[in-house]
Chains A and B, each alone.
Chain A
Amino acid sequence: GAVVSQHPSWVICKSGTSVKIECRSLDFQATTMFWYRQFPKQSLMLMATSNEGSKATYEQGVEKDKFLINHASLTLSTLTVTSAHPEDSSFYICSARKSESGDYFGPGTRLTVT
């Protein structure tokens, strides 16, 4: 199998606070994980590539100081949305790459910033 979990599945926070989202590959090791953002009825937009033991690579237009990524082990990557604002409200999805068999996605985290 190839199971990826995310926690929490949904979160509501107040403007100005920080939120941490965890992405875990449960039955395989993933040296590379990816973080996406998806707005309603839109496609997935890659935010950053997370490599175990090294700094994340951010896509153009994504603020690295706002979206902190840590990939501390082969099964865990975290995304911290710092000083969240209402425009950060979105569906955040991670994926973990399992060699050449494809990328396996977590169930997503719905963030609502009030």
Chain B
Amino acid sequence: GQQVMQIPQYQHVQEGEDFTTYCNSSTTLSNIQWYKQRPGGHPVFLIQLVKSGEVKKQKRLTFQFGEAKKNSSLHITATQTTDVGTYFCAGRTSFQKLVFGTGTRLLVSP
């Protein structure tokens, strides 16, 4: 079945450092979404990318969708302690469902 892998699995950074998580799908996606889940919380929708090669920014967060629509990345510039959590990508296939990536857990030390 379809798989969506994320790397790294875990990253610990100092506040102010940059952070990037990469998402790779085994199949072509119709779109990709990114979610953030705080410890003990539920996933919160961040953004959706639809077009091949699309780049979107939300303040310090930059999201990219690959040309082949099989990979994506999330880059955080100058991390803050409030960025702590697990970041999931989720790819939507030609069917209705979302397939979640394995997630990247981010820890930010002050």
User: Which of A13-21, A41-49, A76-84 has 4 or more CB atoms under 8 Å from chain B?
Assistant: A41-49
Cβ-based interface call for B110 (8 A): no
Query: Provided the pairs A43-B101, A44-B88, A102-B33 are in contact, do residues A32 and B96 lie with their beta carbons within 8 angstroms?
Result: yes
CB contacts (< 8 Å) of A106 on chain B: these are 42
Cβ-based interface call for A107 (8 A): yes
A108 touches B98 (CB 8 A): no
Chain B 31-66: CB-based contact to A (< 8 A → 1; otherwise 0): 001010000011111001000000000000000000
Cα–Cα, bound, A67→B27 (Å): 28
Cβ-based interface call for A103 (8 A): yes
Cα–Cα, bound, A106→B88 (Å): 16
A44 touches B48 (CB 8 A): no
Interface size of A in residues (CB-CB distance below 8 Å):
23
CB contacts (< 8 Å) of A107 on chain B: these are 41-42
Cβ-based interface call for B13 (8 A): no
A44 touches B1 (CB 8 A): no
Residues on B facing A (Cβ under 8 Å): 1, 33, 35, 41-45, 48, 88, 90, 96-103, 105
Residues on A facing B (Cβ under 8 Å): 32, 34, 36, 41-46, 49, 60, 93, 95, 97, 100-108
- Shortest beta-carbon contacts, A-B, top 7: A102-B45, A44-B100, A108-B42, A105-B42, A43-B100, A105-B43, A43-B103
15 A-B residue pairs with CB within 8 Å: A34-B97, A34-B98, A42-B103, A43-B101, A43-B103, A44-B43, A44-B88, A46-B99, A46-B100, A49-B96, A93-B42, A102-B48, A103-B33, A103-B98, A104-B45
